[in-house]
Amino acid sequence: MNDFEIVKKLLIEDRSIRRFDASKKIGADTLKELVELTRYCASGRNLQPLKYRIVNDKEECEAVFPALKWAGYLSDWDGPIDTERPVAYLVQCLDTRLTGNLLCDDGIQLQAITLGARALGIGGCIIKSFNVEIIKQSLQLEDYYKPIYVLALGYPVEKVIIEDMSGKPDADVKYYRSPDEIHHVPKRPLSELLIQTPFAKHEE
């Protein structure tokens, strides 16, 4: 497999995972290695203003969990049961002492972390819907740390597959879970991602 094929394979396998094996822990060293990947990411103005709070202690994990909102499209699912909850979190925070103006560093870094995690067999779910106050208080974060995302992590116990939306003009972007418990994620085809105008010139 060449480098491009490796990157593509990891991206295809890097699906959002929301059900984990709660008995398989992730050590702080592994979590630090994942955070280290963000050092190599592009950064607007090269300010590198994002910091990470590692959470893998049982009590802290229990304190973080109620702050999170899971899978908005799965309206009849309240999130993972006890035995399938994340075993670790990385709370991505903006260090407002460095800047109050975050560009797209957050997404770039989250992708780097989830790709690295995937390469280690670890699954993750990027979570934006969370209660900031619960996170700040339960982790005793200083006021200058502004939580931006919570990344839930663990070893997957669910299967997630991509559904190709090509040729289905009415296809819904909503992910869904089939009766066999497989999570399906619709993705638009390449042809829909390319802007086609009479003025777009391509060279093969």
Ligand X SMILES: Cc1cc2nc3c(=O)[nH]c(=O)nc-3n(C[C@H](O)[C@H](O)[C@H](O)COP(=O)(O)O)c2cc1C
CB of 90 to ligand X, least distance (A): 14
CA 22 to chain centre: 18
Q: Is 69 in the site for ligand X (CB under 6 A)?
A: yes
Task: Identify residue 127 by its one-letter amino acid code.
Answer: I
Which SS3 state, helix, strand or coil, does residue 143 take?
Answer: coil
Angle between helices 105-119 and 28-37 (to 10 degrees): 130
Of 47 and 74, which CB lies nearer to ligand X in the complex structure?
74
Would you say 89 or 142 has its CB closer to ligand X? 89
Among 41, 47, 126, 141, binds ligand X (CB under 6 A): 126
Q: Which of residues 62 and 172 has its CB atom nearest to ligand X in the complex?
A: 172
129 forms part of the interface with ligand X (CB under 6 A) = yes
Q: CA nearest 144: which of 78, 107, 100, 195?
A: 100
Helix (H, G, I), strand (E, B), or coil: what is residue 29? helix
Q: Which residue's CB is nearer to ligand X, number 128 or number 188?
A: 128
Q: Is 184 in contact with 73 (CB distance < 8 Å)? A: no
To the nearest whole angstrom, how small is the minimum distance from the Cβ of residue 158 to ligand X?
Answer: 11
For binding to ligand X (CB under 6 A), which residues are involved?
15-16, 18, 69-71, 125-129, 160, 175, 185
